[in-house]
Amino acid sequence: MRSKKDKKSQGLRTGFWVLLVAAIVLEVISCIQYFTSRHAIRMEAEQRAKTELRKAELEIELHTVEMETAAKTLALLAEKHLNIPDSIYSATRLAVSTLRANTSMAVAFVPYYFPKEGKYFEVCSSRITKDSIYTRQIGSADHDYTQMEWYQNGFVHDSCWWCEPYLDDSGSQTYVVSCSYPVRNKKGETVAVVCIDMSLDELQRVSEYLQVYQNSYYSIRSSKGIDIVPVPDTIPGRKYNIFHEEIDATGWHIEIIIPEEELFADLNRIGRIVGLLMLLGLAMLVFIMWKAGRDTNRLIEFTAKNQRMENELQVANAIQTAMLPRVFPPFADRLDLNIYGIVDPAKEVGGDLYDFYVRQDKLFFCVGDVSGKGVPAALVMAMTRSLFRSITANEEDAATIVGEINRALSEQNAQNMFLTLFLGVLDCKTGQLDYCNAGHNAPVHLPFGHLPSTIDFLPVIPNLPLGIEPDFVFRSQTMQMALNDVLFLYTDGLTEAENIGHEQYGETRMLQELNGEKLKEQGLDPRDIVAHMRQSVELFVNGAQQSDDLTMLAIRYQKPAIVMRNDIQQIPTLAEWIDSLGVPDELNMPINLALEEIVTNVMLYAYPGKNGQVLVEFNKGEMDNGERLVFTVSDGGIPFDPTQRPEADITLSAEERQIGGLGIHLVRQLMDDIYYRREEDKNILTLIKKIEKGQ
Domain boundary among 527, 558, 589: 558
Same domain? For 150 and 134 the reply is yes
Same domain? For 585 and 606 the reply is yes
Same domain? For 503 and 580 the reply is no
Distance of CA 309 to the CA centre of its chain: 28
Farthest CA pair distance, the chain: 123
pLDDT for residue 44: 76
Cis peptide upstream of residue 639 (ω within 30 degrees of 0): no
pLDDT for residue 37: 77
Of 231, 137, 121, the C-alpha closest to 183 is 121
Give SS3 for 686.
strand
**Helical ranges in 192-344 per DSSP H:** 200-207, 260-263, 265-281, 283-323
Instruction: Read off the CATH number of the domain in which 538 is found.
Output: 3.60.40.10
pLDDT for residue 254: 75
CA–CA separation, 432 and 574 (whole Å):
30
Domain boundary among 281, 308, 336: 281
Same domain? For 635 and 667 the reply is yes
Total structural domains within the chain: 3
Does residue 585 lie in a domain region?
A: yes
Query: Which residue range is the domain that position 60 belongs to?
Result: 39-281
Angle (nearest 5°) at CA 145 between 144 and 149? 125
CA–CA separation, 235 and 400 (whole Å):
30
Among positive and negative, which fits the CA dihedral 21, 27, 30, 35? negative
Same domain? For 473 and 490 the reply is yes
**Helical ranges in 81-144 per DSSP H:** 85-97
Does residue 6 lie in a domain region?
A: no
Does residue 292 lie in a domain region?
A: no
pLDDT for residue 258: 74
Does residue 536 lie in a domain region?
A: yes
Does residue 111 lie in a domain region?
A: yes
Give SS3 for 181.
strand
Domain boundary among 558, 574, 594: 558
pLDDT for residue 218: 66
Give SS3 for 675.
strand
Same domain? For 609 and 674 the reply is yes
Same domain? For 207 and 190 the reply is yes
Contacts of 552 (CB under 8 A, 6+ apart): 341, 342, 488, 489, 490, 491, 494, 530, 533, 534
Q: How many CB atoms lie within 10 A of CB 678?
A: 11
**551, 352 contact by CB (below 8 A):** yes
Burial status of residue 95 (CB atoms within 10 A of its CB: 0-12, 13-18, 19 or more): buried
CA–CA separation, 428 and 388 (whole Å):
19
Cis peptide upstream of residue 329 (ω within 30 degrees of 0): yes
Give SS3 for 358.
strand
CA–CA separation, 77 and 456 (whole Å):
66
What number of CA atoms fall less than 13 Å from residue 110's CA on the CB side?
12
Does residue 211 lie in a domain region?
A: yes
**107, 192 contact by CB (below 8 A):** yes
Same domain? For 88 and 219 the reply is yes
Average pLDDT across each block of 10 residues of the chain; the chain has 695 residues. List them in order.
55 67 76 78 74 74 82 87 87 84 86 90 85 86 87 85 77 75 90 86 65 66 71 66 70 73 71 76 68 61 61 55 77 76 79 90 93 80 92 95 94 82 91 95 82 79 92 94 88 91 92 80 77 92 84 87 85 85 85 92 90 85 78 92 71 48 81 91 92 74
CA–CA separation, 622 and 627 (whole Å):
4
Does residue 26 lie in a domain region?
A: no
Same domain? For 110 and 168 the reply is yes
Instruction: Read off the CATH number of the domain in which 229 is found.
Output: 3.30.450.20
Same domain? For 595 and 646 the reply is yes
Does residue 25 lie in a domain region?
A: no
Same domain? For 552 and 573 the reply is no
Instruction: Read off the CATH number of the domain in which 593 is found.
Output: 3.30.565.10
Same domain? For 143 and 123 the reply is yes
**336, 558 contact by CB (below 8 A):** yes
**343, 550 contact by CB (below 8 A):** yes
